[in-house]
Amino acid sequence: MYSVIATTNPTIDRITGKLSDQSLLFRYTIKLVLLVSFSELILYRLVSRLGMHLSKLAQEHEWIIPTFTALTQIGQWLLNVVAILLFLALSVAGINRMAGRGFTGSNMIVIPCVALLLLLTVGFLLVPPAFLGSAIYNLVALVALICLIVEYLSTHTEWSHRAMGITYLLGVGGWLYYQIMSTIYSFIGTVAAPPLVYEAHRGGEGLLVLSSILVMWAYGQGVSFRTRNQRQRRRAIWFWATSVSVFTVMLFLDYLLHRYDAGMASNIRKAADGIGWIFQFGMGYTFFLPFAFYLTGLLCWSYTVIKLLNMGRLAGYGLGLMFIAGYALLYSNLTLMVVLGAMLLTMDRQQRDTPEPASATNTPMVSTPDSLAGGHI
């Protein structure tokens, strides 16, 4: 009997879907979408709201009103630029999905939903959406997001990735449910409150904040205690010790300031309310949770996104867009931003590659004339 020895081929995990793997048009479009979206967030949704709180100061300084007016106009212009870039990016991403997979699987739902969202967005420019149109738009967006996150969960088996994806879907789903049900009840003219809309709204915000924290667990590697590298372990100890200390101080800051100086605590509380008002109108956060949770989410998200962007990972661009859009998707371009971010997130995954097998040799290691069954092999 001649035995054939087959060499085992180890599998290699590599990240696929890096931005450098995409076409030139898609690469620059995604980069511009992220850059312009972030600029629009700062100039239009945040800074323009800040000008409303400077009315007394504007009476003393004449330059304040024209400056904030110019910044607001630039922000409005960027809002239109973002919409154009989102149309281009979603179209190219949809074409790439069709070319790579065909009209099968999740594409049978995702592609029609994205196409319908783009058509409805153009239609709403010509005819402002009524109650029913807004409900349909949000419902289509919710279906597309569910399909994309389910696809993400099916290709990312780590608990950290799945926890982040599920909490994000439930978070933004809470807002979309609130919008859909409120719009439908207004359309049919009933005065009764829709079921669980306020609970969904509050719960969705909390889950989105939790998701922004879990982003670091899923993608922000390098600050783990499990490493054998002593330098990385010491860095992790310092990082987590500092983070926990800052979080604890922020959590009890109001109480500590009130014990130290009640007047100072009152002034800081008013300033915090003003900042919260700006973010509420700019991103939809109501800040019903302690401020420490929102700050922690912002720091975890920022660290992870910057790290992923430096690595050229599509997940960095996807997570950036998904959280820049905020919680309250008040504009259609914010909804498209979230959908595009989820599509980019599904494109960033690990693929197990098997190297080319070594040539098998038929050299007999053990030569016996008969097999155990009595025949020859």
Please write the tens of the pLDDT for every residue from 114-148: 999 999 999 988 887 778 889 999 999 999 999 99
Residue range 193-207: average pLDDT? 92
Q: Tell whether 257 is covered by a domain.
A: yes
| Residue 373 pLDDT level (bands cut at 50, 70, 90) | very low
pLDDT of 250:
65
Separation between Cα atoms, residue 188 and residue 135, nearest integer Å: 12
Nearest to 219 by CA among 354, 84, 345, 66: 345
- Domain with 246 in it: 16-349
Contact predicate 107/98, CB 8 Å = yes
pLDDT at 116: 95
In whole numbers, what is the pLDDT of the chain averaged over residues? 80
Positive or negative torsion for Cα 222, 226, 229, 233: positive
Task: Return the closest-CA partner of residue 179 out of 329, 53, 312, 325.
Answer: 329
* Angstrom distance (rounded) from CA 1 to CA 377: 6
> Tens digit of pLDDT for each residue in 234-249?
767 777 777 777 777 7
Average pLDDT over residues 179-194: 87
Residues 74-101: pLDDT tens digits?
888 898 899 999 999 999 999 989 988 8
The predicted pLDDT at position 268 comes to: 61
Instruction: Using the predicted structure, report yes or no on whether residue 280 has a pLDDT greater than 50.
Output: yes
Residue 355 lies in a domain: no
Q: Looking at the domain assignment, is residue 38 inside a domain?
A: yes
Q: How far apart are CA 49 and CA 24, in angstroms?
A: 37
d(CA 21, CA 308): 15
14, β-bridge pairs: 351
* Tokens, residue 119: 């058509």
Which H or E run includes 13? Answer: strand 12-16
Within-domain flag for 258: yes
Does 360 score more than 60 pLDDT?
A: no
pLDDT 10s digits, 25-79: 999 999 999 999 999 988 888 777 666 666 666 666 677 777 777 877 888 889 8
Report yes or no on 48 lying in a domain.
yes
Q: What is the pLDDT of residue 37?
A: 94
Give, as one character, the DSSP assignment of residue 19: G
The single-letter DSSP state of residue 16 is E
Is-contact 354 9, C-beta < 8 A? Answer: yes
Report residue 20's pLDDT band, with 50, 70 and 90 as the boundaries: confident
Is residue 105 scored above 80 in pLDDT?
A: yes
Q: Is residue 7 part of a domain?
A: no
Please measure the distance between the N-terminal and C-terminal CA atoms of the chain and give it in whole angstroms: 6
Question: What six digits make up the tokens of 376?
Answer: 């020859």
Query: Is 42 part of any domain?
Result: yes
On whether the CB atoms of residues 116 and 335 are closer than 8 A, the answer is no
Listed range (151-160, 183-192, 273-282, 363-372) with the worst mean pLDDT: 363-372
Q: How many domains does the chain have?
A: 1
Per residue in 223-277, pLDDT (tens digit) is 665 666 677 677 677 777 777 777 777 666 666 666 666 666 666 666 566 666 6
Residue 301 CA to residue 326 CA, distance in Å, equals 12
**Does residue 289 sit within a domain?**
yes
- DSSP class of residue 45 equals I
**Chain-centre distance for alpha carbon 21:** 21
> Looking at residue 11, what is its pLDDT?
44
Q: What is the pLDDT of residue 344?
A: 95
